[in-house]
Structure formats: structure tokens, C-alpha cells
């Protein structure tokens, strides 16, 4: 997942660029003296001086940066010269340097290293940013200048990148209420302000609900069966909390292994219900927030002339329409649902053959799923993890980037990090040029939201002929090391590493003048292609043979184990496909409502998920109240994009398989047509330029090897 869009949406038009225009008459207030955001950063590559940035610096920096950006926009509006591409479109793209800098640091850290004070600031500053965004997009004089340039675009002889900036700038105004008049404009302002607050509150509630529950176990008999790596992790968690025994939390590296290896059904049911009822009632309730968010999005869409929010969003996506997306989801569901049901039947049958009685419940699934996988393929995470030590996996990911794109990654101890667990590297190309600074933050903590994502403190741009390279951050929640064992990744964690690193490459290799259309600033249903294609190398023997060695003995991963890993690649492929489709269908359901929804949120979800239901429903549980991707993370009407990009990735990787998984020719083409160009052209154009044809759903279905 990429979080750059979340930050950009919070700041909207105010920070699409990276250079400040001189705004006359603006005096820096006394309280900003000594504030690190108000001075140039005399640091390597102008990286954030984290040790100098205190919580109390953010609010005055935001306030001044917002005022400065307003002055910059006023200077554009009041320019006596006729509007041109340079004095209007480029001037806007090059405004907001300080605001971009403050926002870049604040929102990245609020996701990865938050606190009560940070969350309060987020709640306070978000309305200010939304107000600024609205004041810009709803400014009739500014829009008149933009429109004047846009209307004569065919006569301007712009290159593709300039033309895309112009078109995207005009579109961002028109899609943000610039064409509205009178009361409609004020309603848009009101609704968008309320929405920004609600989505922020939703995310904070989801994090609070995740942190609120833990299960402490003091009876050793209840953990005796667990693999050593699981017990060690739970013991370390308990010790960190000042508790005896073993503690399970709702964070994935703790929750997932316990659900996978434990036979304690009563404890697993308790954990399952806690995990799947996050945001349902209590102090962190999100049920009402879901209804409010969906209804506000509908109101905004209606104001802008769309029947529903999905129609509004999809008009500006690769898929282009609700009909296309629903047809895509239905096609994949129809092709795999019966196979998914067979997957569940096979696990149920296996459980009963091994003494299980009654109906298989969701909290039983992971255990018997793992056992059946081990029975079929003689493989489990305990066998694989010793060969996936985090440090080795990191070097292997770097090696892959070197083989494909000639990149090298050098530790940069002179560059500050925002947390002691974070690492930082200089990324260089084959000529030795520094392309980016890369931060990596691997382990879960209460101050970090769940999941894994890529974001940027600063993107790529060229201003006054000077290129500014990106500051990229990869944030994960992987298995922690213990007192006796280094961090050993599960296969899923290693795949996630490759996925997020793919997003990182999209940022690292970006080229272009304008940050707002560089790197991961592409159509949402295209942004997952660079990440998902990287996952394919996880099961390539030619790649694993180069580095996967036992962390104790140094022996290479046995060929037999690699063969089992490859054979198990498509285990439960249909089940997991349908599960992923269920997320996309719930997203589409909430954002396809055409009248405000005032009914029961749980009932709405049940109806939306019914076409994909292959496991029993559990009373009191719901996906939506913790579904941060769509209710606070910028993926509204976009979750289908993961499956959409899987089709692209399956088809694209077949090109590597045809020419060689380390083919420089294919890698160079992918780099030039996809990674470097960002959003400079329509994504279908870029994809066809790379692959030579349009992608087909069949590529993904064939890759699943259903039987």
C-alpha cells in the first residue's frame, strides 16, 4: 500500500509542489524563530532533522505555512499579466514548499510514530488544511486563470508531462467544486470539512481499538504446543508490558501466529471476536462514522453531478466506470467462488478426519488450514522462517533491485532517523548518482498503525533546473527479534516486504518536473502494479538460490524445500481471491449508494458480502469498522485496484518469465515505461507501451492454477 496519496489528499492543491514563491508582505512571527521548519535544513540531502523537531513545533509551522501558501496563491491571482502555463499552472505547482515540508514530516510520523499529542494536532490541523484546499479550489479568480490556460492548451505546444500537469490541474479544480455556484459551493466546503474530520477520527479509533485489547496467558500448558518463535515473541511482548507469561495482541505478528498454531479454541474465539469487532461499540466506535462518511461522500458526489460517489471516483481511474469495476469483480468471483467453497470443504474434511467435531468456525480456520498445507506439501512457516532472516531478506531485496535496475543501497549513519528502530540508506544508480534516501521501519509498536505501506517525506521534482530526489519511507509490522532469536520472517511477511519495496522503487526511480504527477502519483488502480509484480520473485528458485540460507548453519535452502514452496504457492488461491474480492465488493457497495443510508451498518455489510461468503457469519463481528483503507486511508472506491493490479502484474511478470526473471531488457522497459514515468501519461498507454498489449483477466486466473 502507498500512503503518499493520503498525505496529498490531506493537503490537496495546497502542496502539489516543492518550491516557495516569494509571498510579499508576510512576516515570520516571533514564535517561529528556532522552529526547524522555518529554516533551511543543512542536512544530507535536506533530510528532516528529526532530533530538532518537537511536537510543539508543528502547530505554529502549519499556521505560518498555510498563511504563506495563501499569499502565494494570492500572488498568482493578482498577477497583472495574462494567465500562461508558467505564471499560473507551474506557479501553482511550485507553491507551498514549507507546507509540503511540514505536512510531509507530520503525516508520515503520525502514521508510524504517533502519540496522543500528535493525534490531537492532526484533529486540529486537518480542518485548516481542508479550508485551505477549499479556498484554493473554490477561488473563482484562480480557476478563471487555470481555465484560460486550459482552453488554449492545444495551441501551447506543451510536452506530454506539461500537458498532463495542465489537464490534472484543471481536473482537480473541476472535481473539487470549482464549477459550483452559490449555495452549492458552500455546501461543498461544509461537507468536505466534515468528511476530513470523520476520516481522521475513523483511523484514530481503529488504532485505539487495536491497542485496547491484549490477552495475557500465564498457564504454560496453553502455549506449550506453539513453535518456539511464537512463544518467544509472546513472552517478549509480556515482558515489555511488565506481565508474566505470554501476551497476545491484535497486531498481526502476534495475532496471526497464535491463531495459526494454537489449539486453544476458547482463547482463539476470544481473540477472533476482539479482532473482528474493532470499532464496534465502546470508546472507539466507528459504526456511526461509517454511515456518516458514506453519506457525506454521496452528498459531495451529488453536488458535483454524479449519481453516487463511485461514479465520481471511477471517472478518474484506469477502470473509468462502475460497470467496468463491478463486471471485473463479478467475473473473478464467478470464476473462483466454487473453487473457494471447495477449499473450505477440504479444510473442513481434513479437520474432521483429525478429530474435529461440530461446525468449523472462522477461529478454527487458520490452524487446520496450516495443518492441511503441511500435510499436502510437507511445508510450514517454522521450516521456512530460519531461511528468511530479516537482515538476509533485506540484502536479498537490495540485490534484486541491483540485478534489475543497477541500484545500490548504502547505510547512511549520518542521516537522522525518526525512531531508533528505523534504518536509512542512500540509493545510488550505476553511475554513483544518489537517486533517493530510503528509510525502513520494520517492527510493530503501539504508536504505529497496522499494516505495511510506502510513503515519502518528499517526492521527485525539478525546479529552476535543479532536481530534488525523493525521501522514501517503507513502514512494516514484521516479527520482532527476541533476546535469543533474530527477526525471522514468515513467507507472507517476506512477500509483503517485496510488495512495499516495489512501491519504493516507484518513488526511487521517478523522473520528472512535477511532484504531483511523479512516482506513485498515478491512478489508484495502477499504483499497485509496481508492488504486486515484485511479489512474484518470492517463489522463484533462481532467486532464492542466491541468498536464502539458514541463519544458524549458513546452509542454503534445500532444493526440496524450495520445490515445496513453489508447489504450495497457489494453495487456497481461490479462497484468498474471494476473500480479497469481498473487500472490494464492500467498498463498492458503500460507495454506490444513491440515497443516504440510515439503516443498520452490520446488515448493510452482510448483504454486501453475501456473494462472497464461504465461512459462517459470526454475530457481532464486522469488517467495516476497522477498514481503514476505505474509510480513512484514501482507497474509497479503490480497493478493487489490488485485484485489478494483480491482473496487470500476472501479465507483466509473464514477460519476465519469457525473457528471464533477471532480464535487463525487460527490466529497463518496465523502468522506462512504468516506474520512471509515474502519471505522465494514461496508465493503459504506459502498460501497453511496456507489454505490447492490454492486460486480460485470464492471466490472473491462469496463474492461480485452479483445480
Q: Cβ(97)–Cβ(19) under 8 Å?
A: yes
Q: Cβ(395)–Cβ(407) under 8 Å?
A: no
Does the pLDDT at position 432 exceed 80? yes
What percent of the chain is modeled with pLDDT above 90?
Answer: 90
Q: Model confidence over 59-81: pLDDT tens digits?
A: 999 999 999 999 999 999 999 99
Q: Tell me how far the alpha carbon of residue 120 is from its chain's centroid.
A: 23
Confidence of residue 21 (pLDDT cuts 50, 70, 90): very low
Cβ atoms < 10 Å from Cβ of 20:
20
User: Is the pTM here over 0.85, yes or no?
Assistant: yes
pLDDT for the residue numbered 13: 33
Q: Cβ(173)–Cβ(138) under 8 Å?
A: no
Per-residue burial over 137-155, b = 16 or more CB atoms within 10 Å of its CB, e = otherwise: bbbeebbebbbebbeebee
Burial of 429 (0-12, 13-18, 19+ CB in 10 A): middle
Cβ atoms < 10 Å from Cβ of 555:
10
DSSP 387: G
Q: Which residue has the higher pLDDT, 126 or 4?
A: 126
Average pLDDT, the chain: 94
Does the pLDDT at position 17 exceed 60? no
Closest CA to 706 of 325, 380, 341: 341
Candidates 94, 370, 500, 676; catalytic one? 500
Cβ atoms < 10 Å from Cβ of 666:
21
- Characterise 488 by phi-psi region: left (phi > 0), alpha (psi -120 to 50), beta (else): beta
DSSP string, 588-605: HHHTT-SS---S-HHHHH
What percent of the chain is modeled with pLDDT above 70?
Answer: 96
Give mean pLDDT, residues 249-269. Answer: 96
Q: Cβ(312)–Cβ(301) under 8 Å?
A: yes
Domains detected in the chain: 4-137+139-175 (1.10.1370.40), 214-275 (no CATH), 389-547+641-704 (1.10.1370.40)
359 grid coordinates: 461446525
Active-site residue flag, 500:
yes
69 grid coordinates: 501558501
Q: Model confidence over 168-184: pLDDT tens digits?
A: 999 999 999 999 999 99
248 grid coordinates: 497476545
Does the pLDDT at position 216 exceed 60? yes
156 grid coordinates: 501551447
Q: What is the dihedral of CA 124, 125, 127, 132, to 10 degrees?
A: 160
Residue with cell 520528472: 512
Strands (E), 326-433: 408-411, 423-428
H or E stretch at 369: helix 362-377
Amino acid at each position: 500500500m502507498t500512503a503518499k496519496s493520503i498525505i496529498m489528499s490531506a493537503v490537496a492543491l495546497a502542496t502539489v509542489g516543492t518550491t516557495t514563491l516569494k509571498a510579499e508582505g508576510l512576516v515570520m512571527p516571533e514564535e517561529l524563530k528556532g522552529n526547524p521548519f522555518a529554516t533551511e535544513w543543512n542536512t544530507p540531502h535536506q533530510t528532516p532533522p528529526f532530533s530538532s523537531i518537537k511536537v510543539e513545533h508543528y502547530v505554529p509551522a502549519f499556521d505560518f505555512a498555510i498563511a504563506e501558501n495563501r499569499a502565494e496563491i494570492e500572488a498568482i491571482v493578482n498577477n497583472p499579466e495574462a494567465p500562461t502555463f508558467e505564471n499560473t499552472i507551474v506557479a501553482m505547482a511550485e507553491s507551498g514548499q514549507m507546507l509540503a515540508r511540514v505536512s510531509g514530516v507530520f503525516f508520515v510520523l503520525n502514521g508510524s510514530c504517533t502519540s496522543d499529542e500528535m493525534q490531537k494536532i492532526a484533529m486540529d490541523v486537518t480542518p485548516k488544511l481542508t479550508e485551505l484546499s477549499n479556498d484554493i479550489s473554490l477561488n473563482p479568480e484562480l480557476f478563471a486563470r487555470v481555465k484560460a490556460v486550459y482552453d488554449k492548451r492545444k495551441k501551447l505546444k506543451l510536452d506530454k508531462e506539461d500537458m498532463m500537469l495542465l489537464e490534472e490541474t484543471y481536473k482537480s479544480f473541476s472535481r473539487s467544486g470549482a464549477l459550483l455556484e452559490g449555495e452549492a459551493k458552500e455546501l461543498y466546503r461544509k461537507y468536505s470539512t466534515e468528511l476530513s474530520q470523520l476520516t481522521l477520527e475513523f483511523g484514530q479509533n481503529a488504532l485505539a481499538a487495536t491497542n485496547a485489547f491484549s490477552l495475557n496467558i500465564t498457564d504454560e500448558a496453553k502455549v506449550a504446543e506453539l513453535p518456539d518463535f511464537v512463544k518467544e515473541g509472546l513472552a517478549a511482548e509480556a515482558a515489555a508490558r511488565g506481565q508474566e507469561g505470554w501476551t497476545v495482541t491484535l497486531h498481526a505478528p502476534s495475532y496471526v501466529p497464535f491463531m495459526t498454531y494454537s489449539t486453544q479454541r476458547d482463547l482463539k474465539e476470544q481473540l477472533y471476536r476482539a479482532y473482528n469487532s474493532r470499532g464496534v461499540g465502546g470508546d472507539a466506535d466507528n459504526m456511526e462514522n461509517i454511515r456518516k462518511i458514506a453519506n457525506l461522500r454521496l452528498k459531495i458526489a451529488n453536488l458535483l453531478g454524479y449519481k453516487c460517489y463511485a461514479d465520481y471516483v471511477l471517472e478518474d481511474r484506469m477502470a473509468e466506470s462502475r460497470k467496468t469495476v463491478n463486471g471485473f469483480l463479478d467475473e473473478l468471483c464467478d470464476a473462483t467462488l466454487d473453487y473457494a467453497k471447495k477449499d473450505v470443504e477440504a479444510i473442513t474434511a481434513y479437520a474432521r478426519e483429525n478429530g474435529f467435531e461440530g461446525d468449523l468456525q472462522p477461529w478454527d480456520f487458520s490452524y487446520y488450514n496450516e495443518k492441511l498445507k503441511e500435510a499436502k506439501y510437507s511445508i510450514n512457516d517454522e521450516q521456512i522462517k530460519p531461511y528468511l532472516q530479516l537482515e538476509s531478506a533485506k540484502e536479498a531485496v537490495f540485490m534484486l533491485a541491483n540485478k534489475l535496475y543497477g541500484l545500490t543501497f548504502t547505510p547512511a549513519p549520518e542521516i537522522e532517523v525518526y525512531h531508533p528502530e528505523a534504518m536509512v540508506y542512500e540509493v545510488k544508480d550505476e553511475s554513483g548518482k544518489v537517486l533517493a534516501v530510503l528509510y525502513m521501519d520494520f517492527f510493530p509498536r503501539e504508536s504505529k498503525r497496522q499494516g505495511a505501506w510506502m510513503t515519502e517525506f518528499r517526492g521527485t521534482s525539478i525546479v529552476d533546473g535543479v532536481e530534488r530526489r525523493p525521501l522514501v519511507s517503507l513502514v512494516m509490522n514484521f516479527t520482532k527479534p527476541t533476546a535469543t532469536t533474530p527477526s525471522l520472517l514468515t513467507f507472507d511477511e517476506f512477500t509483503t516486504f517485496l510488495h512495499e519495496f516495489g512501491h519504493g522503487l516507484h518513488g526511487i526511480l521517478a523522473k520528472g518536473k512535477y511532484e504531483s504527477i511523479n512516482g506513485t502519483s498515478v491512478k489508484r488502480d495502477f499504483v499497485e502494479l509496481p508492488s504486486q509484480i515484485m511479489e512474484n520473485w518470492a517463489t522463484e528458485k533462481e532467486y532464492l538460490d542466491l541468498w536464502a540460507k539458514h541463519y544458524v548453519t549458513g546452509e542454503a535452502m534445500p532444493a526440496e524445500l524450495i520445490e515445496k514452496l513453489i508447489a504450495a504457492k497457489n494453495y487456497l488461491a481461490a479462497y484468498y481471491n474471494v476473500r480479497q474480492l469481498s473487500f472490494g465488493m464492500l467498498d463498492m457497495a458503500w460507495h454506490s449508494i444513491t440515497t443516504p443510508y440510515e439503516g443498520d451498518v452490520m446488515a448493510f455489510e452482510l448483504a454486501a458480502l453475501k456473494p462472497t461468503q464461504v465461512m459462517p457469519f459470526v454475530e457481532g463481528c464486522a469488517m467495516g469498522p476497522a477498514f481503514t483503507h476505505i474509510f480513512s486511508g484514501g482507497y474509497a472506491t479503490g480497493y478493487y485496484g489490488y485485484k485489478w493490479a494483480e491482473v496487470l502484474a500476472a501479465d507483466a511478470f509473464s514477460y519476465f518469465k519469457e525473457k528471464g526473471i533477471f532480464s535487463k531488457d525487460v527490466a529497463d522497459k518496465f523502468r522506462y515505461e512504468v516506474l520512471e514515468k509515474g502519471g505522465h501519461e494514461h496508465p493503459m498507454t504506459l502498460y501497453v507501451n511496456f507489454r505490447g498489449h492490454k492486460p486480460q483477466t485470464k492471466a490472473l486466473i491462469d496463474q492461480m492454477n485452479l483445480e
